[in-house]
A and B are shown apart, each in its own frame.
Chain A
Amino acid sequence: DAGVIQSPRHEVTEMGQEVTLRCKPISGHNSLFWYRQTMMRGLELLIYFNNNVPIDDSGMPEDRFSAKMPNASFSTLKIQPSEPRDSAVYFCASSFLGYEQYFGPGTRLTVT
């Protein structure tokens, strides 16, 4: 298996622009998690899906962030409009029946 796939790996954008991060979970996994990692705040869970349904989005920082999972093999995290404080590494992770989470390589987002 190719593991969790994330794209793009790096994204540089200007403040106010829309940013879309993409994730393909491991085939057969039924849970998907979006995390944000910064030096200041560490690893933060933004939202997670179970069987494509959002279960807990309490970690989404504000309405500028939205996430979708239209099917079992694809999810997006969108930031609109982006701000410099959104600069971070965003990870997608997937798991089967919970417990062990497999992380993707991350997307390093820089908002200038």
Chain B
Amino acid sequence: QQQVKQSPQSLIVQKGGISIINCAYENTAFDYFPWYQQFPGKGPALLIAIRPDVSEKKEGRFTISFNKSAKQFSLHIMDSQPGDSATYFCAASVGSNYQLIWGAGTKLIIKP
């Protein structure tokens, strides 16, 4: 019940296309859902996060869509660029517990 399942494991998208990464969870107590971006040789960095009281959050080309009833959330990258090539992790946590439960990661490659 503590797991966060992320798919796909890897993704190749043409430059200018839309990249979509999906995550699913079981624990309905989760109330914070961040996405982290990791470049090779670097630590993960927070990209965007959402709480379950909204269905969508947009920051620039990055959008989180959240479906509370389906217990799913996804990351959409619009107009994908080669610089977006990285590994993306979804995660979830319960508010008072600072421990993040991490997805397995998605390696995204944007082809020029």
| Per-residue interface assignment for chain B, residues 68 to 100, with 1 indicating a CB less than 8 Å from any chain A CB and 0 otherwise | 000000000000000000000100010101111
Q: Mark out the residues of chain A between 71 and 112 whose CB falls within 8 Å of any chain B CB in the assembled complex.
A: 91, 93, 95, 98-106
Smallest CB gap from A106: residue in B = B43
Is B98's CB under 8 angstroms from A95's CB?
A: yes
Is B105's CB under 8 angstroms from A42's CB?
A: yes
Option from A4, A31, A91, A100 in Cβ contact (under 8 Å) with B49: A100
Would you give the shortest CB distance from A45 to chain B, in whole angstroms? 6
Contact partners of A91 in chain B: CB under 8 A: 43-44
Contact partners of B12 in chain A: CB under 8 A: none
Smallest CB gap from A43: residue in B = B102
Q: What is the total of A-B residue contacts with beta carbons within 8 Å?
A: 48
Smallest CB gap from A105: residue in B = B43
Is A45's CB under 8 angstroms from B99's CB?
A: yes
Contact partners of A14 in chain B: CB under 8 A: none
Is A100's CB under 8 angstroms from B42's CB?
A: no
Q: Is the interface of A mostly helix, strand, loop or mixed?
A: strand
Q: Is B54 an interface residue when CB atoms closer than 8 A count as contact?
A: no
- Interface centre among B97, B98, B105, by most chain A C-beta atoms within 10 angstroms, is B98
Assembly CA distance A48 to B95 (angstroms)? 15
Is B32's CB under 8 angstroms from A99's CB?
A: yes
Is A31's CB under 8 angstroms from B43's CB?
A: no
Q: Given that A98-B93, A100-B34, A100-B49 are contacting pairs, would A43 and B44 also be in contact in the complex, using a CB cutoff of 8 Å? A: yes
A residues in contact (CB < 8 Å) with B:
4, 31, 42-43, 45, 48, 50, 55-56, 91, 93, 95, 98-106
B residues in contact (CB < 8 Å) with A:
32, 34, 41-46, 49, 89, 93, 95, 97-100, 102, 104-105
Further contacts, 9 of them, CB under 8 A, given A45-B100, A105-B41: A42-B102, A43-B105, A45-B102, A55-B98, A91-B43, A99-B34, A101-B100, A103-B42, A103-B43
